[in-house]
Copies of this chain bind each other. A is one copy, B any other.
Amino acid sequence: MYKQRLFAPGPTPVPEETLLELARPMFHHRTGEYRKMLETLTGNMQYILQTHQEVYTITGSGSAAMEAAVANLVAKGETMIAVRGGKFGERWSELGHAFGANVVDLDVEWGDAITADQIANALQANPGTVAVFIQHCETSTGTACDVQAIAKAVAQTDACLVVDGITGVGALPFAMDEWGVDVTVVGSQKALMLPAGLAFIACSDKAWAKMDATTPPAYYVDLKAYRKSLAKWDNPWTPANSLVRAALASTNQIRAEGLETVWAETRRRAEATRAAARVLGLELLSSSPSDSVTALHVPEGVDGAALPKTMAEAFGTRIAGGQAHLKGKIIRFSHMGYLDAFDVLAAVAALEMALGRLGATVDYGAGVAAAQKVLAKE
């Protein structure tokens, strides 16, 4: 018997207290009780995004909030830049095409981070660009970019910066207002310690000015409808109100712990995992590794598809493999959600044991010890 441990980059483990909220009797959403919940959740999300702007709660996957950003901000025929350094960067590009934008793809090697200079050059080469779409952390490669520097570059133009913070916000240091990010998109099933089903989005004054001048080919994700409803602490469409109630439990916990502490703990889990990987001889895929997700090359001679499968089936430890051309070549560990130091040790131990089962020469405990060394520090 193995406990089931989730280290895939979403859904992440959910605290028991939050799960119990989900088991409470159904309640009505057109009530003062619900409006108070939505008000508190909005405040918690403003704290987590570090913004004074309203944060809208969408019933949907993170992709629904990504669609909201593209559809509300970029009119048909307008130019947008999509940074493609992985599967989720490709999603920005696909969304742009779906809504008839003139999409400029800014491709970077999967595992490399886009730089502020590259963005500045692309903006210069494409005058009239209305928005730049990036990932804070590209989940498919475990790569983080310097959002603060990029925001500074974009702020010097008329373009808006849209950040997919789905595997960033709540895990990596992020300050929407201070950095000058125009639109931030978040999903519930990552650092927020919640099931999938809610997405969040916030917009700067600059983004609102553009959106107010744009008629979106959208209804369900029309952000003007969300703004109008939130004035009465309401959602435009029937909300997943039991998820909203659960979201209070998890975000209250984040507030109580403090965002800096959560960021530092996530970072420490990432550092411990990287230290273990180093002594076990597993190389990082990324030249700019994120502290929310670690992507590691599968060692020579080990079956790359069998490694996550063995970890899951033999040891109850669910990590992720690679996507697209990285399928079978990398493994990915999430450091987000309801995890502690000893969960990290379990994951490293499971990695060692699965490598052993698959015929690799393993110095059992070496990775665990390296991780412990990091985790033992005050």
Chain A residues in contact with chain B, CB under 8 A? 4, 6, 8, 10-14, 19-20, 22-31, 59-64, 67, 70, 94-95, 98-100, 187, 189, 195-197, 216-222, 236-243, 312, 318, 320
Find the residue from A62, A219, A222 having the highest chain B CB count within 10 A: A219
Residues of chain B within 8 A (CB-CB) of A197 are: 59, 197, 240, 242-243
Residue pair A237, B61 in contact (C-beta under 8 Å) = yes
The CA-CA distance from A29 to B312 in the complex, in Å, is: 13
A189 contact set on B, CB distance < 8 A: 26, 238
Residues of B within 8 A of A12 (CB): 26
Interface centre among A20, A26, A217 (most CB of B within 10 A): A26
Instruction: Report Cα–Cα, A23/B246, bound state, in Å.
Output: 11
B contact residues around A30 at 8 Å (CB): 8, 320
Additional A-B contacts beyond A10-B238, A98-B222 (7; CB < 8 A):
A11-B29, A31-B312, A61-B238, A63-B238, A98-B219, A196-B242, A220-B220
Residue in B25, B70, B217 whose CB lies within 8 Å of A100: B217
Q: Is the CB of A67 within 8 A of B220?
A: yes
Please name 6 pairs of A and B residues whose Cβ atoms are closer than 8 Å in the assembled complex, sorted by A.
A11-B28, A11-B242, A22-B23, A60-B60, A63-B220, A70-B219
Q: Is the CB of A240 within 8 A of B240?
A: yes
Select the residue from A10, A11, A19 with max chain B CB neighbours within 10 A: A11
Known contacts: A196-B239, A197-B197, A238-B10. The answer to whether A22 contacts B25 by CB under 8 A is no
- Is B27 in contact with A6, judged by CB distance below 8 angstroms? yes
Instruction: Choose among B20, B26, B95 the residue that contacts A23 (Cβ–Cβ < 8 A).
Output: B20
